[in-house]
Amino acid sequence: MSSPSFQSVPLQDVRDYWNRRPCNVRHSPKPVGSRAYFDEVEARKYLVEPHIPSFAQFERWAGKRVLEIGCGIGTDTISFARAGAAVTAVDLSEQSLDLARRRAAVYGLEDRIRFVQADAEQLADALPAEPYDLVYTFGVIHHTPHPGRILDQARQCMRPGSELKVMVYHRRAWKVLQILFTQERWRIGDIERIVAQHSEAQTGCPITHIYTRAGGRRFLEDHGFAVSDLSVEHIFSYAIKPYKQYRYVRQWPWRVTPAPIFRRLEHRFGWHLCMTAKLGNDEGTKGPSG
């Protein structure tokens, strides 16, 4: 469930954190803003997180209207637009949006994307009341003080048949174990604060809510959604030092783990809790177990 300890954190702290270093901004050593830079950012993201295209199903939304809550520097935004979707991309960070706009211009996709700077907890103040076929938010709403408010805002942007795809961080993940062991030596009682501080490439993230499978499902259902699919994905398997040098070297124990076993471990102890849902009916329809 969402941690109440984060509810008093000023949203400005979250905005300042992502403005200092937008997500994935260092995924390429090429000149920032160049086509070569954006090409490498995309390639690196989907190499390290190969489950994203199958989760997002970019091609499925051709000719449809997509609302992306938390677009960052626009990797998935461009993928949706390139596949033929009309995208409204929202982000809290002005620096992230600036790069995302430049990215759309580089690829000639400005006419397919509307960028909006907004607090997603108050999304209705920034967007007209109109339905989208897909509301997509990947690795975003767990970084806001009241993530449930974003789900309530998302419902107002949907109609029967619209779909919600959301990724939040998984509490029972290998990464959580690593953080507790390497950073704070098993101070379990303060797990939310510890994980938040070390959840991203840049330390000091002000807020990171984490969810179990059951907690993630309940989170969506409590805000009026029926979960149709739930999966756990992504163990980061690369050694950090060569990774920062844009070399991909598996670290122990993953370099000796057979691929089928690694995938099974990812589905149990991965960092990404990926959920697909639709609006629940008046009887509170529940999705199948994940």
Q: Cα–Cα distances in Å, from 290 out to 44, 173, 228, 232, 275?
A: 29, 16, 9, 9, 9
Phi and psi at residue 180, to the nearest 5°: -65, -35
Mean pLDDT of the chain: 93
Interval 25-42: pLDDT, tens: 999 999 999 999 999 999
Arithmetic mean of pLDDT, 249-258: 94
Distance between CA 208 and CA 33 in Å, rounded?
29
Distance between CA 107 and CA 213 in Å, rounded?
37
Lowest mean pLDDT among 80-84, 132-136, 240-244: 240-244
The CATH number, out of the four listed (1.10.760.10, 3.40.50.720, 3.40.50.150, 3.40.50.11540), of the domain defined by the range 4-279: 3.40.50.150
Q: Is the dihedral of CA 99, 96, 53, 228 positive or negative?
A: negative
Q: pLDDT tier at 129 (50, 70, 90 boundaries)? A: confident
Measured in whole angstroms, how far is the alpha carbon of residue 138 from the centre of its chain?
2
Q: Cα–Cα distances in Å, from 105 out to 96, 101, 143, 226?
A: 14, 6, 28, 37
How many other C-beta atoms are found inside a 10 Å radius of the C-beta of residue 240?
Answer: 11
Query: Whole-prediction pTM value?
Result: 0.93
Boundaries of every domain in the chain: 4-279
Arithmetic mean of pLDDT, 256-269: 97
